[in-house]
Structure 1
Amino acid sequence: MLRKNKYSFVQKKWAVKQYLNGNMSAVEIAKRLNMPKTERNQILAWVHQYQSNQVAFLSHARHNNHYSKELKERGVQEYLAGKISLPSLANKYGIRSYATIRKWISKYNSHIENQNYNPHPEVYMAKARKTTTQQERIQIVQYCLNHDKNYSEAAVKFNCSYQQVYSWTQKYLANGETGLTDNRGKHKQLEELTELDLANRRIKELERKLKEEQDKNEFLKKLNQLERMCLPDSQNTDKLQ
């Protein structure tokens, strides 16, 4: 997926030089760049990146990088062993932002397995397939589920868009194979619905609302975990400043 940088290469390079030459503190540089307080730690992150990988680390990243499952597990274990900081760990493995490693740690602490990630940026721009049979949709969804819900990989393999694979998978999980039936132009009018149809609609609406609430609670839970994990790093950064 294409990624937009909030700060340009020129701004990053200027910030690093000002800091390393002792001309300005990280706080002063952040103020000059109009950075909110929540992002001021980024100055020191750029400095760490520059010191480890020079200008390559400050260049614009157009796409997400590929990180293997083994690298993620190794990075998590090294950090949890307490022998290396997040910025140093990111520099060691050539990772642009230590926030990436923090996400891996959050998943590990939540007992969620870190998977191989090999981005296919072209699938996000791909056009949707105009026609597919129900059997084809079932095949695509089953492939996706058998490969840890890798929507982008399934989209590339079956020449369709990421959005299509995601939509079909969600419909399949909610209603099975019948959820993949093409019902375009076949919706019943309200007056044609039986009491059973209306009851089913109400049940599905309640299930949808329940799922939304569960997703919201899960998101808030993970957000709280991330915030707790950020505290030590913020304290360490304040000391460096």
Structure 2
Amino acid sequence: MSKRTTSHNLNERYEMVIAILEERCSINSLIKNEGISKSALKSWIRKYNANGIEGLKESRGWKVYSDEVKTKAVEHYLNTSAGLESTCDTFNISSSSVLRKWIKLYTSGKGFKSTSRGSQKMNTGRKTTWKERIEIAQFTIANDQNYHKAEAEYNVSYQQVYQWVRKYKNGGPEALKDRRGRSLESKETLTEEEELQLEVKRLKQRNEYLEAENGLIKKLKLIERRNRRGQDPA
């Protein structure tokens, strides 16, 4: 069951939300005068916009979200410039703290724990070698961090790719080693030939991406020219 976070009743919540939406007062003034947090006010506005006055009623239980909604919300946040609040608005999520928990679970590869009975684990991918992880991280970066493309290309999970890219950016190839237990990877090194092969692959992947992007831009410009010709008076 959810806990009551303020002493304001339904009518008071409604009056505050309407006052903000009608621009009769600001969020900051309500925070000061009503002794309420900014996050609570924004949450009420989001709930009202999504479900009307029903959304402002006290919840009598946990709101249940499907794994599909969780995945879409997290990927939307990770792959776009949308912030936490904006993503919550888009997917009608009760609070940014809920979304933060999903992001943490998603990027750690632990999967989502259902808010209803039972739980459903996300795809955890497959085992990989240190050299594979380097190649996958470089491939993803070369393709403007297209995690989905790397996921399909190398048959690994989105979460794995996300973690590898983050580690690679922060610490380079060494950060991708498995240092758990007696893993032999901690002592593994790359030969000059292997480093060269990886660099050649990285450059090739980047060139392929740029060529595809340039080709798309050319096609769009061609379509625009055709459209302009069609609009010109005879």
TM-score bracket, shorter-length normalisation? 0.3 to 0.5
**TM-score when normalising by structure 1:** 0.43
**TM-score when normalising by structure 2:** 0.44
